[in-house]
Amino acid sequence: MLSSEAYLQARQKARYHVQVQIERVGFPPRMPGEAEVGGKVVQVFRADGSELRCGDPIRFRLSVAAYNEAIPPEDGVWWLPADAIYEGACIEAFLNGEAPDCAVALWQVTILEGAPSPPWMSEDVLD
């Protein structure tokens, strides 16, 4: 596990802070692993110097594991339950890269219940 400060710095330094509606998921052949996720941006809270807008396509990978799979902490990875990542689901994430191809900043992502909303994740406090 990394320190809380490391995760907070990842949020603060991330290029993007967005909410995304998932449109497609490519799961790994074995779990745990990296799922390839594609979707559209539905909320933009920060887009440092970018023209990223609602409706724009975006792609990134998520670390996923089977439901209730016991996984020891590995280099600070925050595993998401694979069954919560599906078409139509909304997530909030801190991302780096050049849209549409991005990477999640130190696993700083959360699954949202329902439609897009005000930000759930803070740059100042870990949830």
Q: pLDDT class for 125, splitting at 50, 70, 90?
A: low
Residue 95 counted as domain residue: yes
What is the pLDDT of the chain when averaged over all its residues?
A: 88
Q: What is the DSSP letter of 14?
A: -
Q: pLDDT class for 49, splitting at 50, 70, 90?
A: confident
Residue 118 counted as domain residue: no
Q: What is the DSSP letter of 65?
A: E
Give the model's pLDDT for residue 127.
62
Count of structural domains within the chain: 1
CATH number where 36 lies: 2.40.50
Domain that holds residue 84: 4-112
Residue 103 counted as domain residue: yes
Residue 119 counted as domain residue: no
Residue 40 counted as domain residue: yes
- Give pTM, 2 decimals: 0.86
Mean pLDDT value across residues 71-86: 80
Residue 107 counted as domain residue: yes
Residue 117 counted as domain residue: no
Residues in contact with 50: Cβ distance below 8 Å, sequence separation at least 6, in sequence order: 15, 16, 99
